[in-house]
Amino acid sequence: MRVIVVGGGVVGTMHAWQAVERGHEVVQIEREAEARGASLRNFGQIWVSGRAGGEELDTALRARALWEGIGSRVPGLGFRANGSLTPVRSAHEYAVAEAAAARPDAASRGYRLLTPAEARALNPALRGAFDAALHCERDAAVEPRTAQLALREALRAGGRYTFLPGREVREVVGAGAVRDDHGDVHRGDQVVLATGAWLSGLVRELVPDLPVRRVRLQMMQTDPLGEPLTTSVADADSFRYYPAYRGPALDALNAGQAQAPVAAEHAMQLLMVQRLDGGLTIGDTHEYEHPFAFDTLEDPYDHLVGVVESLLGRPLPKVRRRWAGVYAQCTDTSRVVHRQQVGDGVWLVTGPGGRGMTCAPAVAETTADELGW
C-alpha cells in the first residue's frame, strides 16, 4: 500500500514506522520544517508506573517493549531502561506507595517499595532526606529532541519513505487523498491524520465535536548535573495525578496532607529525567482552561527547584532552558487515544494526552492492525 501520514510528531512517525515495517510505502507530511510540538517538549519518559490498570497499562507495557526493540536498531533514540524512583516523606505518602506495591499488577510494572538506603544504592544522586521510595523497574527514557530525527533517518534508509516538511494539509479531496497548502494532492490507499494538538482548521472541519481538549504545561532543563541520575525521579505529588494510585490511601493523602499552594494552583508534580548530555529535564504544570497564557510563570519553577534540591541534597545546576508545550488529551481521560474514521480511507488519531511519548508505538501498532496493514 501507499500510506499518507500527516504529522511529524512521535505519533505520526510511529505510524510511518509501522507502515514501512509492514512493507508499505509512506509519505509523511509535516506543516513545520521539523515537528515543534509536544513530541519534543516532553520528558522523553516511557512512563509505565502511573498508568491505569487494564487497557492503558497494557498499551504502555506493549509500547515499552516496542521502544526497546526499536531502540536496539536505532541507537539515536537514546533508549535506556533506567526505571524510576518516587521518594515519599510522610505516613500518608508511604501508604499510597505501599498500596501501589500491593496492586495485583505490581509485578508487571516492576513496583518495589525501597528503604532510603536501597533507593540510594540504586540512585546515589538522591542525597536528600526521605522515608522510602517507590521503584518502578519498567519505566524507561529516550531523547525527545532527537528521537523523531533518528527514526526518520532509519526510515529513509529503507527506500520506501518520503518526508515532506513545510506543508500544511488543508483538505481531504477524495478517498485516501489530501491537498496541502502548496496546492499539491497526495494520494494513497490510506491517510492517517496524526496532528497532535493542532485541532483547528482541517481537524475542526472534519470533526466539529471532537472529544479532545488541549493541555498546556511548563518545563525546564538544566546544565549537566555532573554525576549520573541513574533513574527518573518523581515526587509524591505524582500520586495525585496518575490513575494507578487512586484508592483509599490516596483519598487519605488528599484529606490529610495539603499540597503546596503553588503546586495545587498549577496542578503540579515533579518529574525529572537526565538527558544524555547530563542535563536534567524537570517539570511540570498543567493548565486546562482556554485561552492559555502566552508567558511562563516563575513560581512553579521556583517550587520545582526547591523540591529537586531537597531530594538531591545539593544546589541545582543552572537552568538553561524554560518552555511551555501543549498536548491533546481525550476529554474522557480513561481513553488512551481517540481513533476515528473521518473520510473514505482517512483516519484521525489524536488525544493521547501526556501518554503520547510513552504509548505512541503501541497506538500506531493498533492502528496498523485495525486498518489491515
Which pLDDT value is given to residue 155?
A: 97
Q: How far apart are CA 320 and CA 109, in angstroms?
A: 33
User: Is 8 part of any domain?
Assistant: yes
The average pLDDT across 283-310 equals 96
CATH number of the domain bearing residue 150 = 3.50.50.60
Phi, psi of 7 (to 5 degrees): 120, 125
User: Is 352 part of any domain?
Assistant: yes
129 secondary structure, DSSP code:
-
Q: How far apart are CA 254 and CA 75, in angstroms?
A: 42
User: Count of domains in the chain?
Assistant: 1
User: Is 233 part of any domain?
Assistant: no
User: Is 259 part of any domain?
Assistant: no
User: Is 75 part of any domain?
Assistant: yes
Domain interval for residue 180: 1-79+140-211+336-373
Percent share of the chain, pLDDT over 90 = 97
CB 37 within 8 A of CB 326: yes
CA distance to 66, 74, 147, per residue, from 152 (Å): 16, 10, 9
Q: Is the pLDDT score of 38 beyond 90?
A: no
Q: What is the average pLDDT value for the chain, to the nearest integer?
A: 97
Which pLDDT value is given to residue 368?
A: 98
365 CB burial (10 A radius; 0-12, 13-18, 19+) = buried
CA distance to 19, 36, 166, 307, per residue, from 9 (Å): 15, 8, 14, 31
Which pLDDT value is given to residue 39?
A: 87
SS3 206: helix
What pLDDT band is residue 354 in, cutting at 50, 70 and 90? Answer: very high
CB 101 within 8 A of CB 111: yes
**Could you write out the DSSP letters of every residue in 137-156?**
TT-EE--HHHHHHHHHHHHH
Which pLDDT value is given to residue 296?
A: 95
With a CB cutoff of 8 Å and minimum separation 6, the contacts of 31 are 166, 167, 168, 169, 198
The average pLDDT across 219-240 equals 98
User: Is 41 part of any domain?
Assistant: yes
Which pLDDT value is given to residue 121?
A: 98
Percent share of the chain, pLDDT over 70 = 100
Phi, psi of 329 (to 5 degrees): -135, 135
* Torsion sign, CA atoms 75, 76, 77, 82: positive
Read off the pTM.
Answer: 0.97
User: Is 262 part of any domain?
Assistant: no
CB burial readout 242-276, b (16+ within 10 A) else e: bebbeeebbeebeeeeebeebbeebbbbbbbbbbe
What pLDDT band is residue 36 in, cutting at 50, 70 and 90? Answer: confident
Which pLDDT value is given to residue 40?
A: 85
Q: Is the pLDDT score of 35 beyond 90?
A: no
13: enclosing H helix or E strand = helix 10-21
User: Is 287 part of any domain?
Assistant: no
Q: How far apart are CA 15 and CA 36, in angstroms?
A: 18
Q: Is the pLDDT score of 149 beyond 90?
A: yes
